[in-house]
Amino acid sequence: MPEMLTVLDVIQRSSSFLEAKGVESARLNAEWLIASALGIDRMKLYMQFDRPLKEAELADMRSMVARRAKREPLQYIIGSAPFHELDLKVDARALIPRPETEQLVELVLGSLGENDAPYRIIDLGTGSGAIALALAFALPRAEIFAVDASREALELAQENALRCGLQNRVNFVLSDWFSDFDPEGEFDLIVSNPPYLTQEELESAEPEVREHEPVGALVADREGLSDLETILQGAFGRLKPGGMLWLETGIGHRAELLALCENAGYAESLGIDDWSGRARFVKSVK
């Protein structure tokens, strides 16, 4: 008679297997994958360690663990990721939302002051829709445009709007930055987490990033600066006086971006570090 494996047996075996494949936080990854395969919350696993597993359950788990062992991102395998106060669908059509980008949302909201105002906002390079939807959730009267050059990413963002009940709050626009998007009126806020890695930085990144996430959403020309420069120049004429541009940027970009902002005519600009102390964000005021 074949050996009957329990939840704890599979967690332990999967953890060892993933650790041998170089996966960081192997035990945590194994727990997330096994909970997902069982359709339960990860914390509920701890009450089911002795639960014997059926062959169909084991087959699902083996498939998911094998994908993770090939360094496919955990979020793509389980199909979702938390972001700010939302739970977003994620897949290979767009980047996985990062904690640093959650910080960007916090900074943006903190810079606006009151939440119940009719702000006009653009999220450039929306990807999964994370920034636009988080702002729509927090700012009930805002008019928000989510722009992306990738039709596939925009479709994912629209699926997330429906998933979060925000489908009537965000306007989705297919455009390469401002090239096909020239709305009437001026904006209070333009925010973007654009591609900003160099090719060398991509090549040294973890396999999860290098081999699985969309390269077009990661790498930019001119040492990672080209899209950032396009955005800050295009944003200037579309912002109200006193309107703000918020950018997530590469680690080594701050000095050059601040100079570019000054040359473009912004009244003031400053760099802000992320939670880990890295030079990550630039805020400019028209």
DSSP letters of 173-199? EE-STTTT---SS-EEEEEE----B-H
Q: What secondary structure letter does DSSP report for 6?
A: B
The residue length of the chain stands at: 286
Q: At what angle do helices 26-38 and 7-20 cross, to 10 degrees?
A: 130
* pLDDT for res 130: 98
Q: Is the alpha carbon torsion for 179, 118, 114, 100 positive or negative?
A: negative
Half-sphere exposure of 240 (CA within 13 A, CB side): 11
Domains and CATH numbers, the chain: 7-70 (1.10.8), 83-285 (3.40.50.150)
Mean pLDDT (whole number) for 231-246: 96
Strands ordered across the beta sheet of 268-273: 170-174, 143-148, 120-124, 187-192, 239-248, 279-285, 268-273
Q: Does residue 62 register a pLDDT over 90?
A: yes
pLDDT band per the 50, 70, 90 thresholds, residue 2: low
Q: Beta 86-89 vs 80-83: how paired, if at all?
A: antiparallel
Question: What is the chain's Cα-based Rg?
Answer: 21
**12-47 residue pLDDT tens:** 999 999 999 999 999 999 999 999 999 999 999 999
**135-182 residue pLDDT tens:** 999 999 999 999 999 999 999 999 999 999 999 999 999 999 999 998
**Between residues 88 and 182, which one has the greater pLDDT?**
88
Q: Which two tokens stand for residue 115?
A: 């939440």
Q: Does residue 66 register a pLDDT over 90?
A: yes
Q: Does residue 65 register a pLDDT over 70?
A: yes
**Cβ within 8 Å of residue 201, ≥6 positions away:** 219, 224, 250
Q: Does residue 1 register a pLDDT over 50?
A: no
pLDDT averaged over every residue in the chain: 94
**253-282 residue pLDDT tens:** 999 999 999 999 999 999 999 999 999 999
How does 1-35 read in b/e, with b if 16+ C-beta sit within 10 Å? Answer: eeeebebeebbeebbebbeeeebeebeebbbbbbb
**98-123 residue pLDDT tens:** 999 999 999 999 999 888 899 999 99
- Are 282 and 229 a contacting pair, CB within 8 Å? no
pLDDT band per the 50, 70, 90 thresholds, residue 184: confident
